[in-house]
């Protein structure tokens, strides 16, 4: 689970990692990079939100799964981010699409889409600047821009359905799921800059042990307490739902601020 601030992408791309401002965050990710290198999964399901890059107000899917063989980094207004093309995993992505739809989650199937900083910044944080991304990625885009986004409860349950889908894939694969976005932040209006450390800490505390409780948080509370963009946190619940009921916390980090945002990240593993 992690935030996806675009400024962190800029910091990677422009070699600012050593600056004091960014140091605490990049240092915290050293643990995470080592962790994923050791785990070396077969696939990553990356739950993120598109920021008016692949989708626009013409078409607003609540949940969309990328089933293509590859995804181009998007031009978000200042040229494409110079990161490797994102490799997909069509077999598993299609399997998840079919399985979740039959499980009554009407997910949108996408065969062509560009992926923006919401997806590529988390990859940069976890893998640095490789010539190519080392693991196939299944993008799972969630609408958190047009109100209302899906409820936290719906996200948690979609995650559970994804877990069943991965479990029923004919091949036995090691899959990691990233829930991205958040934590508290507001990027608009006179209240821009809102950060709520108490809200975020509570979220991190309960994420592993009491996700059902977090899934009950109404949209209004996110908007009011965690800032208008803090509502992105519902995406974390998709990832949480895809894990076992009992999990153990491997790593946690929280820092304010990068850009306008409280940065949080958590690594959980299934307790077997």
Q: Can you give the binding site for other proteins, defined by CB under 8 A?
A: 6-7, 51-53, 56-58, 74-79, 145-148, 184-199, 219-220, 223-225, 228-229, 256-257, 259-260, 262
| CB closer to other proteins, 47 vs 195 | 195
How near is the Cβ of 162 to other proteins at its closest, in Å? 25
Q: Give the whole-angstrom CA distance, residue 165 versus residue 177.
A: 13
Catalytic residue among 4, 95, 117, 253: 117
Q: Which is nearer to other proteins, 109 or 145 (CB)?
A: 145
CB of 264 to other proteins, least distance (A): 13
Q: How far is the CB of 35 from other proteins (least distance, A)?
A: 28
- Annotation marks residue 255 as catalytic: no
Residues contacting residue 221 through CB under 8 Å, at least 6 positions apart: none
Among 4, 95, 185, 253, the active-site one is 185
- Which residue, 53 or 124, has its beta carbon nearer to other proteins? 53
Q: Decide whether 175 or 200 has the Cβ nearer to other proteins.
A: 200
Question: For the chain, how many residues are written?
Answer: 272
117 assigned to active site: yes
In the bound state with other proteins, the residue whose beta carbon lies nearer, of 128 and 189, is: 189
Chain position carrying tokens 């940069």? 124
- Nearest distance in Å: CB 83, other proteins: 17
9, 120 Cβ separation under 8 angstroms:
yes
Give the whole-angstrom CA distance, residue 135 versus residue 88: 9
Q: Which helix (H) or strand (E) holds 256?
A: strand 247-258
- Tell me the closest approach of the beta carbon of residue 265 to other proteins, in angstroms: 18
DSSP letters for 61-104: -SEEEE-SSEEPBPB-SSSB-SSPPEE--HHHHHHHHHHHHHTT
Query: What separation in angstroms does the CA of 112 have from each of 3, 20, 73, 97, 136?
Result: 25, 39, 12, 15, 16
Pull the structure tokens for residue 111: 């065969």
Report how far apart the first and last C-alpha atoms of the chain are (Å, whole number): 20
Using an 8 Å Cβ cutoff, are 53 and 73 in contact? no
Positions marked active-site: 117, 185
């Amino acid at each position: 689970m992690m935030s996806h601030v675009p400024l962190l992408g800029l910091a990677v791309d422009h070699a600012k990692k050593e600056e004091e401002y960014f140091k605490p965050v990049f240092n915290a990710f050293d643990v995470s990079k080592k962790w994923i290198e050791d785990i070396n999964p077969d696939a990553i399901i990356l739950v993120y939100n598109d920021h008016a890059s692949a989708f626009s107000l013409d078409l607003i899917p609540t949940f969309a799964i990328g089933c293509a063989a590859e995804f181009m980094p998007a031009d978000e207004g200042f040229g494409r981010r110079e990161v490797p093309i994102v490799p997909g995993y069509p077999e598993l992505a299609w399997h998840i699409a079919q399985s979740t739809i039959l499980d009554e989650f009407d997910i949108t199937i996408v065969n062509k889409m560009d992926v923006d900083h919401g997806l590529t910044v988390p990859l940069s944080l976890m893998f640095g600047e490789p010539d190519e991304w080392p693991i196939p990625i299944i993008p799972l885009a969630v609408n958190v821009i047009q109100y209302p986004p899906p409820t936290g409860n719906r996200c948690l349950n979609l995650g559970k359905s994804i877990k069943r889908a991965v479990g029923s894939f004919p091949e036995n694969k090691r899959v990691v799921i990233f829930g991205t976005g958040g934590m508290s932040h507001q990027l608009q209006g006179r209240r821009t800059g809102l950060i709520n450390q108490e809200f975020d800490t509570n979220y991190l505390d309960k994420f592993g042990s009491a996700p059902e409780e977090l899934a009950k948080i109404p949209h209004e509370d996110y908007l009011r307490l965690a800032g208008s963009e803090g509502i992105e946190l519902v995406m974390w619940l998709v990832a949480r739902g895809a894990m076992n009921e009992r999990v153990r916390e491997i790593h946690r980090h929280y820092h304010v601020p990068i850009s306008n945002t409280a940065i949080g990240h958590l690594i959980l593993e299934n307790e077997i």
